[in-house]
C-alpha cells in the first residue's frame, strides 16, 4: 500500500468509525434504560436473583464502556493520523521527485573533472540537499507517528518508504560531499602550481643580471616548504569544515528523532534507523582520527597563532564528536532494551487475548441450565473444565500485566495511555469471564440437588396419583361399604403422607425455575401445575366420598345399626372433615391485620396466593386467584404511576380472601406456613 493509499485509507476508516461511534452513542439511552429496568427489578428480587441481576448489569455496563472507550480511542487516533498521513505523503512525493532528478543529473553530468563548472554544479546540489532537510525531517516525524497510529500492512509500506528515501538521501549527501572534496583539492593544486609559475616568471629576469643561483635555490626551498605547509593547512581546514557540516547535519537529525516507541513494529523501525545512524558515525571515525593525526603534525611546524587555531578547532570538534557517539550508542542500547520488553509483552499478551476471546465465545454459546439431573451432571462436569481453564490462566494474566507494567516504565507519551488501556481491558475481560463462569458453576451446584429432589418428588407423586386415580375411577358411586371406607381412609392417610412430597416438589421446582430459565422452566412449571391439580382433585374426591359417608351413617342409624358403630363412624367422618378443612385453611397472620406493616402484608399476600394456587406463580394477570378484587392490580407492590395507599389495598386483598373462603383470620407468633 503506497502513501496515497495510506492517506485515503485513513479518511475512509475515520468516516467508518464516526458511524460506529455515533451508533454506540445512540445506544447509550438503551443501556441506561436496561440498567434502570434492572435496578427496578432488583428491588423485588430475593436470594441469588439479586446477585445474578447485578452481575448481568455489571457485565452490560462494563462491555458498553469498553466498546465506547475502544471506538473513541480509535477515532481519536484516526483523527491524529489523517493530517500526519497527508504530511507524510506530501514530503515523500516531493523528496522522491527531487531524488529522481538529482540521481539522473549526477549520472549523466558531462563536464570537465575538477572544472569550475563542475564545482558550481555540485555546490548547487549541496544547496538543494540543505534545502530538502526539512522535508526529510517532516517525512521521518510524520511517518513514525503514522506507524504508531496505523499498525498493519500500511505500517510496513511506510517503513519501507522511509528507509528507501533516507538511504537515497544519504547516498546523495555522501556523493555530493565526496565530489566537492575532490574538486576543492584539485582546485587547490592548480592554484599552487599557478602561484609557483608566477613567482618563477618574476625572478627569472633578475638572473640575467646577477648570479643568484644559490639564493634562488634557498628561496625555492623555503617557498616550497611554505607552499606545502599552506596547502596542508588549507586541505586540513577544508576537511574540518566538511566534517563540521556533517556533524551539524547529524546533530540536527539526532535532535529531531522521535522518543522511543513501545509498539513492536515501530521500535524495530527505530532500531533499524538507529543502527544505520550508528554505522554512519562509526564510518566517520577513521576520518576523525586522520584529521587528529594531521593536526598534530601541522601543530609541530606551524607558527604559534596557527597552532592555537588548530588546537581550538580540534577541541571543539572532539567535544561534538564525543557527544554524538555517546548519544547514538545510548539510544541504540535503549531501543534494544525496549524492543526486548515489547517482544516479551507481545508474546505474553497476544495469545492471552486470543484465549480470552475463545473463552468468551464458549461461555456465550452455553445453553441455559437444564432441569434434567443427568444432563445437569454432564453440564457441570463440562463447565468445571472451563472454570479450571480460567483459573489456570490466572498466572498468565498476572504475567502479562507484570510484563506490560515493565514496558510502561520505558514508554513515553501516548504509548503510556495505550499500554495501560490494553492492560485494563485485559483484566476487566478476565474478571468478567471469571465471574460469569463462577456464577454458572454456583448455579449448577445449587440446581443439581434441587433437580434431583424435584425429580424424586414428581416421580413418586406421579406414580402414587396414577394408582389412586385408577382405584378411585373403579370405585362404585353408591354408598361405600365398610371395606371401601377403610380404603378411602387409607387414601386420606396417604394424602397426608404425601404432603411433604408436594411441598418438596413446589419448593425445589420454584428454585429450579429460578436457576434454569427458558424451555426447561416452562416444563417444570407445567409439571408442577399438573401434579398440584391432580393432588387437589384427589383431595376433593376424597372430600366428596366423606360427604357420601355421612349419608351412609344416617341410613345405617335409621336401619338400626348398633349405637357404638354409628358413633365410631361419625367420629371418623368428623376427623376427615377437619383434616380436609386443614388442607383448605388460609395461612395464619403474624399479628392483627391492622397492626401489620406493608412489608409484612406484601410477604403474606405472596404466601396466600401461592397457598391458594398450590404452585409457584409470577404475578401474571392470568394467574390471579378468584378472591382477588377486580379493582386492585394483581401485584404485591404498588404499580408505577399508582398513587393510592398500597397498605390499604393489601388489607382489602387479605380481607377478601378470608371472606371468599368463609374463614376467620388466625393470629400466630410467626408465619410458619
The CA distance from 298 to 236, in Å, is 9
Q: Where are the domains of the chain?
A: 586-673
The pLDDT assigned to 673 comes to: 37
Please report the pLDDT score of residue 110 as a whole number. Answer: 47
468: nearest Cα among 503, 504, 494: 494
The whole-number pLDDT of residue 225 equals 60
- The answer to whether the CB of 501 falls within 8 A of the CB of 462 is no
pLDDT at residue 576 in the model? 58
Instruction: Give the Cα separation of 116 and 3 in Å (integer).
Output: 40
Report the distance separating Cα 359 and Cα 387, nearest Å: 10
Average of per-residue pLDDT values in the chain: 79
Report residue 554's pLDDT band, with 50, 70 and 90 as the boundaries.
very low
| Predicted confidence (pLDDT) per residue in 492-513, tens digit | 788 888 888 888 899 888 888 8
pLDDT tens per residue across span 468-488: 888 777 765 444 567 666 777
Provide the pLDDT confidence category of residue 141 given band limits of 50, 70 and 90: confident
Provide mean pLDDT across the span 603-613.
85
Q: How many CB atoms lie within 10 A of CB 536?
A: 15
The pLDDT of residue 550 is above 60: no
Using the structure block, give the residue that is written with the C-alpha cell 581546514.
237
Distance in angstroms (rounded) separating the CA atoms of residues 547 and 644: 45
- 76-85, 106-115, 296-305: which range is least confident on average? 106-115
Quick one: DSSP state of residue 479?
Answer: P
The set of cell numbers assigned to 404 is 506490560
**Any idea which of 146-150, 151-155, 159-163, 467-471 has the lowest mean pLDDT?**
151-155
Please tell me which residue, 176 or 163, carries the higher pLDDT value.
163
CA angle 181, 186, 190 (to 5 degrees): 150
Q: How confident is the model at residue 456 (pLDDT cuts 50, 70, 90)?
A: very high
pLDDT at 229: 62
Contact between residue 328 and residue 382 where contact means Cβ atoms under 8 Å apart: no
Is the pLDDT at 406 greater than 50? The verdict is yes
Q: Is the pLDDT of residue 618 over 60?
A: yes
Give the pLDDT band (50/70/90) at residue 384.
very high
Cα distances (Å, whole numbers) of residue 412 to 257, 263, 264, 327, 343? 14, 11, 14, 18, 17
Q: CA-CA distance, 7 to 91, in Å (whole number)?
A: 13
Per-residue pLDDT averaged across 60-69, rounded? 84
The Cα angle at residue 385 between residues 381 and 391, in degrees rounded to 5: 135
Smallest Cα–Cα separation from 143: which of 98, 96, 79, 85?
85
Q: How buried is residue 320: exposed, middle or buried, by Cβ count under 10 Å (0-12/13-18/19+)?
A: middle
pLDDT at site 74: 77
Residue 58 scores a pLDDT above 60: yes
Q: Which pLDDT belongs to residue 116?
A: 66
Checking if the pLDDT of 523 tops 90, the result is no
| DSSP letter for each residue of 184-199 | HHHHHHHHHHHHHHHH
pLDDT recorded at residue 475: 63
Can you tell me the distance from the alpha carbon of 84 to that of 146, in angstroms, rounded to the nearest whole number?
Answer: 6
Choose the most confident range, by mean pLDDT, from 194-198, 427-431, 483-487. 427-431
Separation CA 347–CA 287 (nearest Å): 44
Q: Which pTM was predicted?
A: 0.46
What integer pLDDT is reported at residue 278 of this predicted model?
A: 87
CA–CA separation, 78 and 154 (whole Å)? 13
Number of helical H runs and strand E runs in the chain: 18, 0
Could you give the CA distance from residue 292 to residue 306 in angstroms, rounded to a whole number?
A: 15
Cell numbers linked to 277: 545512524
Instruction: Give strand pairing partners of 667.
Output: 589
* Whether residue 672 has pLDDT greater than 50: no
Q: pLDDT-derived band of residue 641, with 50, 70 and 90 as boundaries?
A: low
3-state secondary structure (DSSP) of residue 589: strand
> What's the pLDDT score for residue 436?
93
Say which range, 3-7, 72-76, 96-100, 595-599, has the weakest mean pLDDT: 3-7
Local structure of 667: helix, strand or coil: strand
- Measure Cα distances from 50 to 145, 593, 601, 647 in Å: 49, 30, 22, 25
Whole-number Cα distances in Å, 571 to 323, 347, 486, 496, 538: 117, 86, 14, 18, 22
* Cα-based angle 136, 139, 145 (whole degrees, multiple of 5): 140
Instruction: Please say if the pLDDT value at position 405 is more than 50.
Output: yes
> Is residue 146 very low, low, confident or very high in pLDDT (cuts 50, 70, 90)?
confident
Q: Are 638 and 619 in contact (CB under 8 A)?
A: no
pLDDT the model gives residue 129: 84
What average pLDDT score do residues 527-539 get?
88
Residue 306 has pLDDT above 80, yes or no: no
| Average pLDDT score over residue span 83-89 | 85
* Position with higher pLDDT, 405 vs 183: 405
271 vs 191, more confident? 271
Is a pLDDT exceeding 60 seen at residue 3? no
Q: Has residue 187 got a pLDDT over 60?
A: yes
Tens digits of residue pLDDT in 339-362? 888 899 889 989 999 999 999 999
Quick check: 228 pLDDT over 70?
A: no
Given a contact cutoff of 8 angstroms between Cβ atoms, the answer to whether 347 and 397 are in contact is: no
Place of cell 587555531: 309
pLDDT tier at 289 (50, 70, 90 boundaries)?
confident
Using 50, 70 and 90 to split pLDDT, how confident is the model at 467?
A: confident
How would you write 497-548 as a 3-class SS string?
HCHHHHHHHHHHHHHHHHHCCCHHHHHHHHHHHHHHHHHHHHHHHHHHHHHH
Amino acid at each position: 500500500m503506497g502513501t496515497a493509499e495510506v492517506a485515503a485509507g485513513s479518511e475512509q476508516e475515520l468516516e467508518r468509525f464516526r458511524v460506529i461511534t455515533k451508533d454506540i452513542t445512540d445506544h447509550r439511552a438503551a443501556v441506561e434504560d436496561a440498567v434502570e429496568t434492572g435496578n427496578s427489578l432488583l428491588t423485588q428480587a430475593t436470594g441469588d436473583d439479586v446477585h445474578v441481576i447485578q452481575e448481568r448489569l455489571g457485565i452490560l455496563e462494563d462491555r458498553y464502556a469498553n466498546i465506547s472507550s475502544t471506538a473513541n480511542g480509535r477515532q481519536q487516533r484516526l483523527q491524529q493520523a489523517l493530517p500526519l498521513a497527508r504530511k507524510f505523503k506530501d514530503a515523500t512525493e516531493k523528496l522522491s521527485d527531487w531524488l529522481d532528478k538529482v540521481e539522473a543529473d549526477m549520472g549523466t553530468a558531462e563536464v570537465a573533472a575538477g572544472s569550475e563548472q563542475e564545482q558550481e554544479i555540485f555546490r548547487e546540489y549541496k544547496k538543494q540537499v540543505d534545502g530538502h532537510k526539512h522535508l526529510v525531517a517532516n517525512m521521518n516525524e510524520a511517518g513514525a507517528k503514522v506507524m504508531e497510529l496505523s499498525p498493519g500492512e500500511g505500517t510496513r509500506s511506510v517503513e519501507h518508504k522511509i528507509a528507501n528515501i533516507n538511504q537515497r538521501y544519504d547516498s546523495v549527501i555522501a556523493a555530493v560531499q565526496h565530489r566537492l572534496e575532490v574538486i576543492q583539492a584539485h582546485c587547490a593544486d592548480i592554484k599552487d602550481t599557478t602561484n609557483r609559475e608566477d613567482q618563477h616568471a618574476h625572478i627569472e629576469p633578475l638572473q640575467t643580471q646577477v648570479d643568484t643561483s644559490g639564493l634562488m635555490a634557498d628561496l625555492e626551498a623555503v617557498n616550497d616548504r611554505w607552499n606545502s605547509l599552506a596547502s596542508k593547512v588549507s586541505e586540513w581546514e577544508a576537511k574540518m569544515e566538511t566534517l563540521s557540516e556533517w556533524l551539524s547535519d547529524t546533530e540536527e537529525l539526532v535532535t529531531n528523532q522521535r522518543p522511543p516507541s513501545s509498539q513492536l513494529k515501530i521500535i524495530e523501525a527505530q532500531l533499524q534507523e538507529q543502527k544505520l545512524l550508528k554505522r554512519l558515525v562509526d564510518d566517520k571515525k577513521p576520518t576523525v582520527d586522520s584529521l587528529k593525526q594531521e593536526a598534530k603534525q601541522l601543530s609541530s611546524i606551524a607558527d604559534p597563532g596557527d597552532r592555537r587555531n588548530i588546537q581550538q578547532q580540534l577541541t571543539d570538534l572532539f567535544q561534538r564528536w564525543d557527544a554524538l557517539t555517546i548519544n547514538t550508542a545510548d539510544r541504540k542500547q535503549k531501543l534494544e532494551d525496549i524492543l526486548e520488553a515489547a517482544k516479551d509483552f507481545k508474546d505474553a499478551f497476544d495469545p492471552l487475548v486470543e484465549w480470552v476471546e475463545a473463552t468468551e465465545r464458549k461461555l456465550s454459546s452455553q445453553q441455559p441450565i437444564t432441569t434434567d439431573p443427568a444432563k445437569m451432571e454432564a453440564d457441570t462436569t463440562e463447565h468445571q473444565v472451563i472454570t479450571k481453564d480460567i483459573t489456570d490462566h490466572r498466572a498468565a494474566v498476572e504475567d502479562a500485566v507484570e510484563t506490560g507494567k515493565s514496558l510502561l516504565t520505558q514508554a513515553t507519551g501516548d504509548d503510556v495511555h495505550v499500554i495501560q488501556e490494553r492492560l485494563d481491558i485485559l483484566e476487566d475481560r478476565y474478571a468478567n469471564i471469571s465471574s460469569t463462569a463462577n456464577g454458572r458453576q454456583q448455579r449448577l451446584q445449587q440446581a443439581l440437588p434441587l433437580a434431583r429432589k424435584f425429580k424424586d418428588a414428581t416421580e413418586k407423586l406421579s406414580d402414587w396419583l396414577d394408582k389412586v386415580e385408577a382405584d378411585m375411577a373403579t370405585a362404585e358411586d353408591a354408598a361405600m361399604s365398610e371395606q371401601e371406607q377403610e380404603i378411602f381412609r387409607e387414601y386420606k392417610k396417604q394424602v397426608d403422607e404425601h404432603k411433604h412430597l408436594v411441598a418438596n416438589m413446589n419448593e425445589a421446582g420454584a428454585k429450579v425455575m429460578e436457576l434454569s430459565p427458558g424451555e426447561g422452566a416452562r416444563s417444570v412449571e407445567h409439571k408442577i401445575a399438573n401434579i398440584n391439580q391432580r393432588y387437589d382433585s384427589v383431595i376433593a374426591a376424597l372430600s366428596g366420598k366423606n360427604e357420601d359417608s355421612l349419608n351412609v351413617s344416617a341410613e345405617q342409624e335409621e336401619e338400626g345399626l348398633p349405637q357404638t358403630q354409628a358413633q365410631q363412624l361419625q367420629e371418623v367422618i368428623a376427623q376427615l372433615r377437619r383434616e380436609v378443612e386443614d388442607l383448605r385453611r388460609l395461612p395464619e397472620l403474624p399479628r392483627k391485620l391492622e397492626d401489620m406493616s406493608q412489608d409484612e402484608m406484601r410477604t403474606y399476600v405472596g404466601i396466600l396466593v401461592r397457598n391458594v394456587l398450590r404452585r409457584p406463580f409470577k404475578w401474571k394477570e392470568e394467574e390471579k386467584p378468584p378472591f382477588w378484587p377486580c379493582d386492585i392490580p394483581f401485584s404485591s407492590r404498588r404499580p408505577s404511576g399508582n398513587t393510592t395507599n398500597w397498605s390499604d389495598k393489601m388489607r382489602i386483598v387479605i380481607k377478601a380472601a378470608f371472606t371468599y373462603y368463609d374463614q376467620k383470620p388466625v393470629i400466630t407468633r410467626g408465619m410458619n406456613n
